[in-house]
């Protein structure tokens, strides 16, 4: 969800032959937020919750300015160059650029040295560009320069793709991340420096039967399969019933109209309708502070550190259903869907899957439907018809 700066001239792309649906396995990992807070014991977390709850009776909960990928949990593998250099990337529908760490990064950049780094000297298909870029993340910025090379996704070669070589990554966020870089899948309108996004390059080269991609996310913590990204279509074996589609309201993020959010029979949020972004780069469901604060109170959640909320695990069966009205159809989440169980030092704690963040105009205010929602509902992103589709996910693919 960031903007960069200069216009580039793309070299002509060689068009490869069209293929069927391309499947990219997704792997689940701890979110950065989870990794950064794992140094705390359960008793410390509980004490923090109680202290925060007491202070909240007289003061408002401070708004935490989230960095984009603090809550990302699912990544897949791509390669760049010839021969291919592999990278774990977050497939992010909330941004539009592809970037990976560069071999030219600073010796002091811890995040870079903990991850795979792209080496242009080892690629016969590398084309130099060198234009500088910078992406703002919270209080710091990720910076580097633009290069061009072949990007390969599960055997699908995307020729002449421009991407960012990151030489500076800010703070602990990317150092703690299990993924190396980010592959943005939003619209060109929010691409930094107007670099053509990978999926737009695929569309221009007519590499897929349909300009559609879809996500199945498996939130079963006991499963070794994190999910699957499908390029070129949707797989009915991953969902039940029919897909329910909503038109994209603004071609920047994957933004749709949301009619209301109902918390049981006691609380209605987004009362006059609101805008929501469907974002695979965020694990939580995010909304305006005043509304999320009311929701957390309604489900009996206590504020913790780093913007998280604690819930007594014993209360999950009695928690209210939270229903999202999208295009006249209700998409329900039960307590089992929106409460995340985290094991710490032999003890299980439960955290709310909702978080507050105020996104200022002109982009906001916005809700963000992250993996807590996408994990319950198989999601289709359709560039041909400019729409997003949802259907209840199966717990596992039907063979």
Calculate the average pLDDT of the chain: 84
How far is Cα 271 from Cα 262, in angstroms, rounded to an integer? 9
> For 168-192, how does the pLDDT look when each residue is reduced to its tens digit (9 = 90+)?
987 677 787 888 999 999 999 999 9
**239 lies in the same domain as 197:** no
Q: Is the pLDDT of residue 195 over 70?
A: yes
- Whether 230 is covered by a domain: the verdict is no
Residue 141 is predicted with a pLDDT of 76
Residue 218 is predicted with a pLDDT of 86
The whole-number average pLDDT for the span 370-395 is: 96
Last residue of a domain, one of 207, 223, 243: 207
- Whether 45 is covered by a domain: the verdict is no
Residue 35 is predicted with a pLDDT of 52
* Lowest-pLDDT choice from 56-70, 71-85, 155-169, 330-344: 56-70
How far is Cα 72 from Cα 1, in angstroms, rounded to an integer? 14
Residue 11 is predicted with a pLDDT of 29
**178 lies in the same domain as 305:** no
- pLDDT category at 250 given cuts 50, 70, 90 is very high
**110 lies in the same domain as 199:** yes
- Whether 322 is covered by a domain: the verdict is yes
**245 lies in the same domain as 367:** yes
Residue 54 is predicted with a pLDDT of 41
> For 281-323, how does the pLDDT look when each residue is reduced to its tens digit (9 = 90+)?
888 999 999 999 999 999 999 998 767 899 999 999 999 999 9
- Whether 214 is covered by a domain: the verdict is no
- Whether 4 is covered by a domain: the verdict is no
pTM of the predicted protein model: 0.86
Q: Is the pLDDT of residue 8 over 50?
A: no
The whole-number average pLDDT for the span 224-228 is: 82
Last residue of a domain, one of 189, 207, 225: 207
How far is Cα 352 from Cα 337, in angstroms, rounded to an integer? 10
Residue 67 is predicted with a pLDDT of 33
The whole-number average pLDDT for the span 64-86 is: 72
Last residue of a domain, one of 157, 192, 207: 207
**263 lies in the same domain as 345:** yes
**76 lies in the same domain as 202:** yes
Question: Residue 183 is part of which domain span?
Answer: 70-207
**200 lies in the same domain as 279:** no
H helices present in the chain, as ranges? 32-37, 42-56, 110-113, 173-176, 198-204, 289-298, 335-338, 371-374
- Whether 123 is covered by a domain: the verdict is yes
- Whether 215 is covered by a domain: the verdict is no
**184 lies in the same domain as 96:** yes
**131 lies in the same domain as 254:** no
Residue 30 is predicted with a pLDDT of 66
Residue 348 is predicted with a pLDDT of 86
How far is Cα 252 from Cα 163, in angstroms, rounded to an integer? 19
**240 lies in the same domain as 344:** yes
Q: Is 259 an active-site residue?
A: no
Q: What's the distance, Cα to Cα, between the start and end of the chain in Å?
A: 36
Q: In Å, how far from its chain's centre is CA 211? A: 20
Q: Is 92 an active-site residue?
A: yes
The whole-number average pLDDT for the span 110-117 is: 90
How many domains are there within the chain? 2
DSSP 69-129: TTT--EEEEEEETTTTEEEEEEEETT---EEEEBTT--TT-HHHHTS--B-GGG-TT-EEE
CATH number of the CATH domain containing 130 = 2.40.70.10
Residue 224 is predicted with a pLDDT of 64
**239 lies in the same domain as 383:** yes
**89 lies in the same domain as 192:** yes
Out of 71, 109, 200, 279, pick the active-site residue.
Answer: 279
How far is Cα 279 from Cα 285, in angstroms, rounded to an integer? 9
> For 16-54, how does the pLDDT look when each residue is reduced to its tens digit (9 = 90+)?
333 479 999 998 876 655 555 444 444 444 444 444 334
- Whether 23 is covered by a domain: the verdict is no
How far is Cα 340 from Cα 349, in angstroms, rounded to an integer? 8
Q: Is the pLDDT of residue 4 over 90?
A: no
Out of 92, 149, 200, 337, pick the active-site residue.
Answer: 92
């Amino acid at each position: 969800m960031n903007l960069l700066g200069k216009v580039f001239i793309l070299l002509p792309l060689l068009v490869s032959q069209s293929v069927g649906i391309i499947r990219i396995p997704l792997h689940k990992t701890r979110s950065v937020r989870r990794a950064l807070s794992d140094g705390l014991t359960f008793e410390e977390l509980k004490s923090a919750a109680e202290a925060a709850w007491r202070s909240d009776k007289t003061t408002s909960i401070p708004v935490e300015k989230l960095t984009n990928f603090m809550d990302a949990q699912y990544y897949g593998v791509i390669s760049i160059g010839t021969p291919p250099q592999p990278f774990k990337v977050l497939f992010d529908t909330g941004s539009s650029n592809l970037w990976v760490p560069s071999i030219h990064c600073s010796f002091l950049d811890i995040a870079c040295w903990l991850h795979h780094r792209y080496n242009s000297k080892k690629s016969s298909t590398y084309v130099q560009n060198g234009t500088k870029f910078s992406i703002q993340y919270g209080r710091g910025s990720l910076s580097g320069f633009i290069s061009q090379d072949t990007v390969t996704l599960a055997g699908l070669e995307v020729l002449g793709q421009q991407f960012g070589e990151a030489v500076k990554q800010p703070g602990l966020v990317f150092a703690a991340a299990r993924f190396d870089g980010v592959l943005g899948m939003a619209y060109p309108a929010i691409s930094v420096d107007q670099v053509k996004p990978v999926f737009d390059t695929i569309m221009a080269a007519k590499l897929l039967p349909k300009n559609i991609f879809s996500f199945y996310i498996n939130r079963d913590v006991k499963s070794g399969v994190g999910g699957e990204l499908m390029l070129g279509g949707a797989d009915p074996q991953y969902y039940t019933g029919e897909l329910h589609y909503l038109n994209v309201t603004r071609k920047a993020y994957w933004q749709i109209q949301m009619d209301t959010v109902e918390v049981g029979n006691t609380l209605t949020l987004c009362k006059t309708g609101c805008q929501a972004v469907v974002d695979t780069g965020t694990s939580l469901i995010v909304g305006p502070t005043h509304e999320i604060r009311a929701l957390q109170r309604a489900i009996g959640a206590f504020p913790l550190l780093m913007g998280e909320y604690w819930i007594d695990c014993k209360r999950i069966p009695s928690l209210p259903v939270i229903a999202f009205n999208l295009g006249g159809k209700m998409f329900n989440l039960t307590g089992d869907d929106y409460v995340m169980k985290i094991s710490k030092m032999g003890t299980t704690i439960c955290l709310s899957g909702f978080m507050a963040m105020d996104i200022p105009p002109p982009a906001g205010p916005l809700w963000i439907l992250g993996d807590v929602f996408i994990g319950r509902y198989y999601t289709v992103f359709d560039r041909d018809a400019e729409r997003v589709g949802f259907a209840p996910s199966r717990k596992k693919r039907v063979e």
